[in-house]
Amino acid sequence: MTDLPSIYSRLRSLVSTWRALAMVSLLGSQLLVACGSDTTRVEPQIPIVTFSESLNITNQQYTALRADNGAVYHTGGVRGLIIVRQNASTYFAFERNCPYRVTDTCARVSIDLSRLFLKDACCGSQFDLQGRVQGGPATRALRQYNTSISGNLLSITN
């Protein structure tokens, strides 16, 4: 028959081993998280601002919005808006703040000189005229705001 002190000693040893394994496991998982690659890093979101903009698309400054895929800049949002006409009844309004590294002061999307896509010269990301990522480090589409057209008046809200 085994004596009680011997059993107690074995149990203490076993509990001590379990604690050590748990500690090693915990530290290992912390190291994996801390040393993760930059691609797993979560980028901050673009701040949400409340605004409501209206523009008369017949005004001279918006002539590009009279043709499909025409694009113009407008005030509103965080760093301004890019408005794109898809067709006579559908307009898109995108935030100019690039979704990649949103806090960088240069993270501002512009209309490419070719007028075929949108780009951020700061990080090199490119977006199509529907705001979807075409290339570069950005993985999220441009923030899109609500639009509605009534006659010649285009309303943009978030």
> Is the pLDDT score of 95 beyond 80?
yes
**Under 8 Å CB-to-CB from 91, ≥6 apart: which residues?**
65, 83, 84, 85, 147, 149, 154
Token readout for 53 is: 């903009």
CA distance 56 to 41: 42
The whole-number average pLDDT for the span 57-76 is 96
pTM of the model: 0.73
- Reference 80, options 135, 151, 149, 156; nearest CA is 156
CA distance 118 to 158: 21
Q: What pLDDT is recorded for position 44?
A: 82
CA atoms 143, 149, 155, 158: torsion sign: negative
3-state helix, strand, coil in the chain (%, to 5): 25, 30, 45
**Under 8 Å CB-to-CB from 1, ≥6 apart: which residues?**
none
Q: Which helix (DSSP H) or strand (DSSP E) does residue 16 occupy?
A: helix 4-34
Q: What pLDDT is recorded for position 147?
A: 97
Token readout for 116 is: 């075929």
The whole-number average pLDDT for the span 64-81 is 96
> Is the pLDDT score of 151 beyond 90?
yes
Kindly report, residue by residue over 27-39, the tens digit of the pLDDT: 555 544 444 445 5
